[in-house]
Amino acid sequence: MAELKVGILFGGISEEHPVSVKSAQEVARHLDTGKYEPVWIGITQDGAWKLCDGPDAGWESGRPVVLGPGRSLLVLEDGKYESFELDVVLPVLHGKLGEDGAVQGLLELSGIPYAGCDVQSSALCMDKSLAYVVVRSAGIETPDFRILSKGEDIDPEAFDYPVFVKPARSGSSFGVSKVTSGDELAGAVATAAQYDDKVLVEGAVVGSEVGCAVLGNGSDLFVGEVDRIALSHGFFRIHQEDSPESGSENSTPIVPADIPAETAARVRETAKAIYRALGCRGLARVDMFLKADGTVALNEVNTMPGLTSYSRYPRMMAAAGVSLGEVLDRVLALAVSGR
């Protein structure tokens, strides 16, 4: 069987650039090169696309490339170009212009099949306020929230504290603050606005943070073991540590989650319902709150979850007996088949 030529996009211009590079390095360690011919395309923090040998040090010096029509990749050099076709693209990109539908739209225009969520579901999940509206309409609980527009006057007395202030369209807890009094609100809004001009003020949900790694399309979904984030203090701020590989100062992921089997089953079914309501495909990580009364509420959905050595998605899948290599096989097969 001929090897599939897989374009692997990584890096990007968002604040999650370093995480994307680490995710790509983990993909490089687990991708079966007997089945796939990887074509590594790194995107620098200033937006230049580079054809390189892999996501290791020095990849930014690769040759400039652009996507062309008819599934082609154009390699530019000395005023000339050469082109070759890609069979499928795996966009290992996190955050803005990676998970928000932008690169997915570019791939649609180029006619190249790609792994993961499509334009619509990527954009929907990236905007937490829109995701909440859709998920609520499906009968699933979400946090109460209010949208603040750029330059809008804020009345601190309008909120019951504590609240969480966050960019509507960002990831990995960048720009997120927990606010316990009205005196802190303006500063938290200013912090969130550094990442997005649409800011959410969310009512705090009292409960444990749990998550599900979901794999598949439509009715054919596989869910890894549920995890629970055990917090010693503060709130969960994934990828904010100086050296996340060595652990977090305030959180420990417990996989499988230390919750009753019946509760875990309810969490998994809620994750699948959220995934389907938002139109996700391929893979996504669904983060939720498990309340004391057993109710499950949405926190957020990551349409290209971190795939690093310390990331939640591969850890939950591994606990269910599915390696990262198997995950990659499945999402690429779904992308190529179009099912």
Task: Confirm whether 19 is a catalytic residue.
Answer: yes
User: E strands along the chain, which residues?
Assistant: 4-11, 36-43, 49-52, 63-67, 72-77, 80-85, 88-92, 145-149, 163-167, 177-179, 198-203, 208-217, 220-223, 227-231, 251-254, 282-290, 296-302
Question: Higher pLDDT residue, 294 or 151?
Answer: 294
> Is residue 246 scored above 70 in pLDDT?
no
- pLDDT for res 248: 55
Q: Which one is catalytic: 285, 312, 315, 330?
A: 285
Range in 85-89, 167-171, 211-215, 334-338 the model is least confident about: 167-171
Task: Confirm whether 94 is a catalytic residue.
Answer: yes
Taking only the tens place, the pLDDT of each residue in 304-313 is: 999 999 999 9
> Is residue 1 scored above 60 in pLDDT?
no
Q: Which one is catalytic: 17, 22, 169, 315?
A: 22
Query: What mean pLDDT value characterizes the chain?
Result: 92
DSSP lists the bridge partners of residue 63 as 51
Reduced to 3 states (helix: H, G, I; strand: E, B; else coil), residue 253 is: strand
3-state secondary structure 152-183: CCCCHHHCCCCEEEEECCCCCCCCCEEECCHH
Domains, the chain: 4-114 (3.40.50.20), 123-142+206-337 (3.30.470.20), 145-203 (3.30.1490.20)
Task: Confirm whether 224 is a catalytic residue.
Answer: no
Q: Which one is catalytic: 239, 281, 312, 315?
A: 239
Whether the CB-CB separation of 94 and 12 falls below 8 Å is answered with yes
- pLDDT for res 199: 94
Task: Confirm whether 30 is a catalytic residue.
Answer: no
Whether the CB-CB separation of 200 and 189 falls below 8 Å is answered with no
> Is residue 110 scored above 50 in pLDDT?
yes
What is the percent of the chain where pLDDT is above 70? 93
> Is residue 144 scored above 60 in pLDDT?
yes
Q: pLDDT tier at 150 (50, 70, 90 boundaries)?
A: confident
Task: Confirm whether 22 is a catalytic residue.
Answer: yes
Q: Which one is catalytic: 114, 275, 310, 313?
A: 310
Q: Which one is catalytic: 245, 262, 321, 338?
A: 245
Task: Confirm whether 233 is a catalytic residue.
Answer: no
Q: Which one is catalytic: 19, 226, 286, 322?
A: 19
Q: What is the mean pLDDT of residues 274-284?
A: 98
Q: pLDDT tier at 54 (50, 70, 90 boundaries)?
A: very high
Q: pLDDT tier at 240 (50, 70, 90 boundaries)?
A: very low
Q: What is the mean pLDDT of residues 278-302?
A: 97
CA distance 325 to 134: 32
